Each structure stands twice: as structure tokens, then as C-alpha cells.
Chains A and B, each alone.
Chain A
Amino acid sequence: MTQEGKLTRRAFLQGTAALGAMAALTGCASQETLKPSPAGEAGVASGEVEVRHAWCQMCGPARTHCSTLCYIKDGRWTNVEGNPEAGNNWGRGSRSLCAKGNAAMAVLYAPGRILYPMKRTGEKGEGKFERCTWDEAMDAIAAKLLEQKEQYGAKSYGVLSPQFYAVLGTMGRRFLNVHGSPNYMHSAICNSQRMFSRLVTIGGPKHAQATDTAPGQLGKTKLLVVWGYNSENSAVNQGNPYARLNAIEKGLKVIDIRPMQDGLAAKADIWVPVRPGTDGALAMAFLNVIIGEDLYDHDFVENWCSGFDQLAEHIKQYTPEWASPITGIPVEQIYEVARTMGTVKPMGINIGNGIGDQQNDGHWTVACACLIEAITGNLGIAGGGGAAMVSPPSLIKTKGVDELTEKLPMSKEDEEKGYMAGVSDLVGPETPRWFQTMDTQESGPTTAYYKGIMSILTEEPYPLRCIFGQSSNPLSATRQPKKVEEALKKLDFYVVMDTQWNSSCDFADYVLPACTNYETDQQFGTKNSTDGTFIAINQKIAEPMGESRSDWEYYLDLAVRMGYGEDFWNGDMDACLREQLDGSGIDLEELRAANKGIFVERTDGAKATEPKYQDYEKMFASLPNGKVQCYNEWIGNKPNCDDTGMISPLPVYNGPAESIAGTPDIAQEYPLVISDVHAYRLCNHSYYVDVPYLRELQPYPWVKINPATAKQYDIADGDWVKIESKHGWVKMVARYLESIAPDVLMSRRGWWQPCEELDLPGYEHLDGGSEINVLYDAEPENFDPFNSAMSKQTLVKISKLEEGN
């Protein structure tokens, strides 16, 4: 089986000397069996097996969630388990990991690793490259950036920020600031969207500390509402599923709102299979019932809400009867859920990506969920939102990388308009320019990923000239790859650094080989708990494959070549690490020598303490009038992020660009709704589809379909199907699932990686491939006007495909 149609990277490489050299260097024939290692104490004690710590990278590069112990035998990494010292998942003693974490070795030894810097020799997209040296590539990149800075201004450089990525959030941002560009192209598919909405609705001093609706003391919660939240996929080993199952055993009631009954939804008391993209209508109907039936906390509303009467009047029109045909949820169930939320206390809401950033009504959906939590009196109470236990302080105090925010120049326009430095120059603001401050943003100004890429085509307000993509595949990380490909073809200069040849590499001028977390010792992390504090730095599990280099070093090297060396430790990454450890009481050598990390036990007997409850003055201090914004005075009646209109001060429901209730004419030809899971437990966004242990569980791109619907179209379980929207078409394998509505299909994006060990192909990102993003609308005018969230739902028709694979 090979990837059909186009010349693939592998096919291309086979024609060069690179492949032979690659195999020789990695020494990993693809069919080699993993050797069992005597990993018991005997093997370790005899010195046959070496055990070293690494932060697991399977939730994304440069993550420090789960500390793992890597077992190395005869120089080869054979096995991995959770580090019981670190306090992963349920705490100290936990050796657990997720499926991805258990398969991590494959990432290091993947046959698809990029091993050398490559320079494009053919047309963009043609896939013709030749090997070059690091010096040649880095000199060319530095020269181009300096030339473009001179000719078009530093703002013409933008960097792709996929999911949260520590290299980019620290070093990448520092580079942008020193270079002088604000164009950190944030995905707009991120936790940040929820943070913005929570911040402007229920307060919090700043971005990362926005008031939370999730219960901070689950053991005291009576009702948990899980809304578009997917921790059995996105954070399997990070405590949430474990803690929730414990609480359920002790009587916690759970309402789970999402289109597919995934693992944890199967444990809920009530499952609400909302039609994808319509959660906003559901949220407004819940508010309608809670306010209309007087189920709110009058004391709280009178003292701590601003504009409640306006909200109450406005929300009258959004009845369950209105929401039912939009959401596909029966009127009675909307009443039932609203009444339960309005009466069972303490109640907390886990707000997930699904409703915050995966639909174009993201802001108002999250804002309404926040308002439900607030007006029912569930904020700041034990078992409710915004009232987490306060952990005793970390015993090891390290510093973050200083982002040198002050280096980003303030333009005349910034000054005149009172903006944060750099904001006027944003090519496609993710949130409105006037809104962006160091308190509202994660690490500085942000442009929305998709909007930034589109500037290349529209040249409005100006085109980006250079994009750096690090561990991000723009043909899968955002909507409408057809448009993204068009933009990449037109882009002056595109540089990619990745461990694998992602599908956008064919459009790059230079492709640089990144090493994995497991081949570099340049990142540490800490985990703090009542027991004590754990700190560990990545150990080198293997020397970097081929000529691959660390993502951290890329920035230092480039900075030195561009004359920014003084701001980048003159290229010395150890100096950067020492700066972060300064004052922690632990030096770099000590940390590197600690093979399994260092645990500092808490000896002062300090315990987690209860927070100050109902501390509303403090909780809402950053909000206008110091109150919950039922009528939003912070963002309401102010320009949207594109300056094309005003943001409503009260909840609005627009619906996806194409939907059953919203566009019945389109629904006539395309009767089914499709969406895809944001995070999934067998991949990291579109990556790791090449990992054999994960791919064998799901070999082909899938679409879940209710059997009744499938039979209507003569589709058997396992058939290849053609799925068409008005924007494009994909092919996938139909998988029957009873726990999905008959008019809904759910899928998983990505699939560009082949799995050579299992002889399974990768799939294209254009029409006829399997990248679901090709189906969705991507008109910027349809994006969320406050936070640029894009719809990830559309209408499709489906038919059996005779020749699939």
C-alpha cells in the first residue's frame, strides 16, 4: 500500500542517498522486534538495564506533565513506565501512563525521522529537496529574516503556534520580541479561548488565573456538568478521569454534554448528545429556564452581578422550544438538565475545548456556562467553581525563561491608541487589538493562526513574508487545507523544523531536523504536591539521530547569527538553564546527574488548605463594576477582532456556517452533521499516526456512524465511504457506533503519517484524502468575533466508496 497519486516524501527519498544513510544512522530496520528487557529489579541491579528519567512528549513536544522512567538496554530504549517518585496522575506511587505514553519509544526510532537539513530545489509542493548543512540553512534563514526586516519590517515574520508548546511560548516569544514582530500565530483552537471568555465574564486577575467553573474540590461536589470536555482523550494520565471515577463511586452525579458517548460519558448519569456546534443555543436555553423559573441565587445576583435584568429580558426569547430543533435535544431534556443545574448544589462545570474553541460561537457558549455557574451561586463555594484547595508552596523555586517583553517596540500607533506594544502591527488579531494586554494574553500579542496564513493571499493588512513552523503542520492544525496550501505556495519564505516530514514540508524553503525530547537534556519541569516537590531534567535517552538538533538550540543559534546573541546567552543553552535554576538551590550539574529526578520531601507538615470562600470582591476585581458581567461592559459594544463590527454585550447564537436548523436549504442536499474529536487518546493532534502500537488499534481514518443511518445508505461497518460537504470531500472507513445521533457523524483529523512498520499509508490533505478539515467552512467573517474560534462542524452527504484504500 502506498500513498496514492502524488510523489511522497518517502518515494522521493528513496531516489536519493539520504535513505540509505538514514537507515544506517538510525539502525532501526522497521520490522525489528522490540527486545524484552529484564526490567525487574534484578536486571537493573545487575547493570544490564539502565533507567533514566524523561518528561513524556506524547501529549506534545516539550511537555512536562508526566515524568517517565525509560529502560535502556544495550544502548536501546526498550521500555517506559510512569515514574512513581514524581507524583503523576493520582500522586506519588503512580506508575500509570496512557496508551500513547506506553508507545513513546517509537517516536525516537521512527523510520520517518528527518535526519538532515534539507533545502528545496524544485517548485513549492513538488517535493524536490537536497541535503544541506546546518550552517548553510541557518545562514540562509538569518540572512532572509534580516533582509525582510529591512524591506518589509520585522512584523513580516510570523511563527506558527500549535497547541501550547513550551519552546515557542518562551524562547520563540523572546525571539519575536527581540526581532520586533508581534505575530505569534496562536491556533485559536486552544484553552486560551476559554480563558478569554472566563476572564471577561467571571473575572480573575489575568489570563492563566481566570476564575474557573470546574470544581476545585470534587469530593464536595454534588453535580458535575461535563461540557465538551474530553479528559479520557486529552489528559488520560493527568488526574481528571481518576478523580472523577473516585467521586462517582462516592455518589457524584454527572451530566455529560457531547455528541459521542466516549469512555467517561458512558459513566454519566445523564448523557446529552448535543448536535455538534450548537452548544451555544443549549447554554442560552439553560439560562432561559434557570432565570425564567427563578432557580437562581437572588443574593448573589443582587450583590455580585452586573446587568442581570438586561440578561433576563434578553434571554426570554431563547426557550427550550427554540433550542430543541437546533440542538437535537428534546425539549423535556433541556428542562430537566437546566432544572438540575439550577437546584443541585454544589455544582461545577468542566468546560472543554469542544465548546470553547471548536465552534464559532465559542465565546458566548463559554460565557453562558460561566453565567450559569455564577447565578446559581456556585462560584466560590466548597465543591463549586473558583474554590480550589490551596497547595503548600513549591519547595524548589525555579524561574521561567524571561520573554523580554520590553524589547518589542511600541509603534506610534500603539502609543496613540493606548495599545500594548506591537498590537497595531498584528496581521490578524486573535482577540481585538484594544483587548490585548499582558494580563489578557498568555505571553504577549497574538495573531490567529489561520488569519495570519490568509494574509499571504489577501495581503490585508499586509502579507506575512516568512513563517516558521515548528512541530506544527498547518495543513492539519487549522481549517481548510486547500486555502492553506494556496497560501504556502505564495509565501516568500517558509521554514519548518520537525521530527517528521509533515505534509507542509513540501512547501518549505528549508526543512530542519528536530530531535525529540528524548535526545536532549535542555528542559526541566517540577511537580508540587502536599508530599513535596519533584524536579527533573530530560535525560538523554539517546544521542540525537542523524544531524537532528534541539528546538531550543535552534533559537539560540539563529539569534547569534542575526546579531541578537547578547539577548540569547550568546548561544549557550546551559547558561539559559542556569538562569532558570538560579536561586532554586539546585544546580544544573546536580540536576543532570539525578537520573530519576530529585524529590524534596515536605517536612514542615504543611497541608493543602481551604481557600477563602465567597471572596467575590477579590474574584471579580478585574471586571467592570467588580461584578459578574451578565451584560458585558468589558467587551460589549466594542470593535470585534477584525474591526468589522461590534461585539454584542449579551449572548448571541449564530450557529455553524452550515447546520440542520440554520441552513435548511443546504441540509436538503447534505443532510448529516459532521465534526471531529479535538484531542484523541491515540495521537497528539495530527501526529503519532505512524506509531505502530497506536496505529494497529485504528489502522484507517474513521468516521463513526449510527448503524441505522449507515444501513439507509447501504454502508456496512468497515466500508470505505465518501463524505462530501459543499467545501470538499474526504474518504474514511465507516465504524458503527450506536451512541451517536442518527444525523451526526464524528471523526478524527490528521492521518498524514504513514506507518511503515505496518505497511499502512498516510493520507492526503486535499479533496479525496482523509483530512477532515477540508470539509469545513473557513470564512474569517464567520469566526467568533471575540476570540477567532472557527466552526468545526458542517453538513455532509455520505456514500459507499467501492475503492477506498
Chain B
Amino acid sequence: MAKQYGFYMDTERCIKCWACEVACKQWNGIEAGTIARRKVHEVESGTFPNVTRKFVSMSCMHCGDPACAKVCPAGAISKRGEDGIVVVDKEKCIGCRYCFFACPFGVPQYTETGMDKCDCCIGNGVTPGDMPHCVATCPTQALQYGEMGELADKVAGKKARQMADSATKPSVVVS
């Protein structure tokens, strides 16, 4: 089976420090006030004083069966065979936003040059398979990266699951 890289998000370790978001922007040359390829979300539940807060850092799920690629009329989105990273060819993108409506997670965003999303930092020089910058910078190791099989071993024994039971098979594990 071909390799599939993905993320592991440990919500027990995320403290909403935003380091991943900023690292993503500086390494990918994304201007402030525009888009964010990675976002830290928060889920607050209960009422004071019995409140819990959970923090979740999310980006593109690099799905096993990416819905965005399927609907792209320009053939701009592809899934790399060697590592499973889903990439966009901005030269081909026509900005039709079909991918945004197809993606169950609302990942695709648009700039003047076309659709933009996480490419696991391979576009800024990280060797495919090495840690993307969001992961390398995470001060609590809440965000991890690796081959899906390795990640499964890592979360063995934890209440973890692959993101949703979506038909698109997201390459993200959350615990």
C-alpha cells in the first residue's frame, strides 16, 4: 500500500498558543490579514463553573479519497502517490470554488493566485515526510506528523479516532 502521511492532534496537550498558525504563515509566506491554512479551534461546553474547554488545531486533512480533487474541473488538485499529500497546482486553478463546496471540512481558501491550502510544507522546501513547520514548532507536541500507520501506533490505548468517519478518509487522528 502506498504511504500516507497525516497529522495527529492531541487535544489533551493543545493549549491554544497559536504557534502552529503563525509558523504556518511565516514559512509559507502568507500575509497577515489574508488566509490561514491552519486554525486553532475551540470547543467550550457546560456553564460556569462547570466548564470544559478543548482546543483543536486543524488544517487540510489530506484525505485518502479527496472530494476536492474529484470535483475540480481543471484538474488542479491531485493526491501524490508517494506520500498521499494533496496538492494544488495554482497554474491550473480557475478559482471556481467547487472544491470548497465539496470539502466536508471547508478547507479550501482562495487568494488572487487561486485555491490555497496546506501542502505539509513541501512547497516551502520541507522534504516530503519530514515534519511540517506547524508540527516542528508546537511547544507541547500536541501536533504530530507521520505515516498513518506510525500515528496509529502512537495513539494506541488513547481514546483517539480518525477524523470523523467521513467517506473521504481524512488523514488526521484526533484524541
Contacts and interface: CB of A to CB of B under 8 A. Distances in A.
A38 B26 contact: no
A37 B28 CA distance: 8
A36, A89, A262, A271: most-surrounded residue (chain B CB, <10 A):
A36
B137 A36 contact: no
Contacts of A693: 22, 25-26, 32
Given A36-B27, A99-B17, A242 B51 contact: no
B27, B48, B54, B55: most-surrounded residue (chain A CB, <10 A):
B48
A598 interface: no
B132 to A, nearest CB: 12
Interface stretch (A180-188, A440-448, A739-747): A739-747
A264 B136 CA distance: 20
Interface stretch (A90-98, A199-207, A313-321, A364-372): A90-98
Interface in B136-151: 136-142
B17 A249 contact: no
Interface string B14-26: 1111110111011
Contacts of B123: 36
Interface string A510-530: 000000000000000000000
Give the interface size bracket for B toward A. Answer: 35 or more
B13 interface: yes
B53 A79 contact: no
B18 A271 contact: no
B19 A758 contact: no
A593 interface: no
Interface string A238-251: 00011001001100
Interface in A215-237: 232, 236-237
B137 A95 contact: yes
Contacts of A267: 12, 15
A289 interface: no
B18 A99 contact: yes
Contacts of B22: 99, 102-103, 693-694
Interface stretch (A1-9, A39-47, A489-497, A623-631): A39-47
A706 B28 CA distance: 37
B143 to A, nearest CB: 10
B139 A95 contact: no
B46, B51, B139: most-surrounded residue (chain A CB, <10 A):
B139
Contacts of A262: 15
B139 to A, nearest CB: 4
Contacts of A292: none
A261 B52 CA distance: 9
Contacts of B81: none
B53 to A, nearest CB: 4
B125, B127, B141: most-surrounded residue (chain A CB, <10 A):
B125
B34 to A, nearest CB: 9
Nearest to A95: B136
B91 interface: no
Interface string B33-65: 100000000001011110111110000000000
B29 A36 contact: yes
A105 B26 contact: yes
A97 B137 contact: yes
Contacts of B94: none
A89 B48 contact: no
A738 B51 contact: yes
B28 A36 contact: yes
Contacts of A78: 26, 29
A262 B53 CA distance: 9
A89 B139 contact: yes
Contact of B12 (A97, A101, A249, A273): A249
Contact of B21 (A99, A236, A242): A99
Given A103-B22, A693-B32, A245 B124 contact: no
Interface residues of A, number: 62
Contact of B15 (A33, A90, A232, A271): A232
B29 A97 contact: no
A254 interface: no
A461 interface: no
Contacts of A696: 32-33
Contacts of A101: 19
Nearest to A264: B15
B51 A232 contact: no
A681 interface: yes
B19 to A, nearest CB: 5
Contact of A241 (B15, B26, B28): B15
B29 A34 contact: yes
Contact of B13 (A33, A245, A708, A742): A245
B127 A98 contact: no
Contacts of A242: 139-141
Nearest to B142: A245
B55 A263 contact: yes
Interface in A95-123: 95-99, 101-103, 105
B128 to A, nearest CB: 10
Contacts of B30: 34
B126 interface: yes
B139 A80 contact: no
Given A242-B139, A245-B12, A696-B32, A99 B19 contact: yes
Contacts of A90: 141
A79 B127 CA distance: 17
Contacts of A694: 22
A692 interface: yes
B165 interface: no
Interface in A49-83: 78-82
Contact of A739 (B33, B51, B140): B51
A137 interface: no
Interface in B103-162: 123-127, 133, 136-142
A103 B26 contact: yes
B48 to A, nearest CB: 6
Contact of A697 (B14, B18, B49, B51): B18
A335 to B, nearest CB: 16
A237 B32 contact: no
A236 B17 contact: yes
A575 to B, nearest CB: 37
Nearest to A90: B141
A710 B48 CA distance: 14
A65 to B, nearest CB: 12
Contacts of B21: 99, 697
Contact of B49 (A36, A103, A264, A741): A741
A264 B14 CA distance: 9
A695 interface: yes
B141 to A, nearest CB: 7
A171 interface: no
B136 A81 contact: yes
A403 interface: no
Contacts of A273: 48-49
A745 to B, nearest CB: 13
A35 B29 contact: yes
A28 interface: no
A34 B33 contact: no
Given A34-B29, A99-B18, A41 B127 contact: yes
Contact of B53 (A266, A681, A682): A266
Contact of B47 (A43, A99, A232, A738): A738
15 contacts: A34-B26, A41-B127, A79-B26, A79-B27, A245-B12, A245-B13, A266-B53, A266-B55, A267-B15, A271-B49, A693-B26, A695-B32, A738-B46, A738-B47, A742-B48
Given A267-B15, A738-B51, 12 more contacts: A31-B31, A36-B27, A36-B29, A38-B124, A78-B26, A82-B136, A89-B139, A232-B15, A242-B139, A263-B16, A693-B25, A738-B48
Please provide the 8 A-B residue pairs with the shortest distance between their CB atoms, ordered closest to farther: A40-B125, A263-B15, A692-B32, A36-B29, A102-B22, A99-B18, A266-B53, A739-B51
Interface of A: 31, 33-43, 78-82, 89-90, 95-99, 101-103, 105, 232, 236-237, 241-242, 245, 248-249, 261-264, 266-267, 271, 273, 681-682, 692-697, 706, 708, 737-742, 757-758
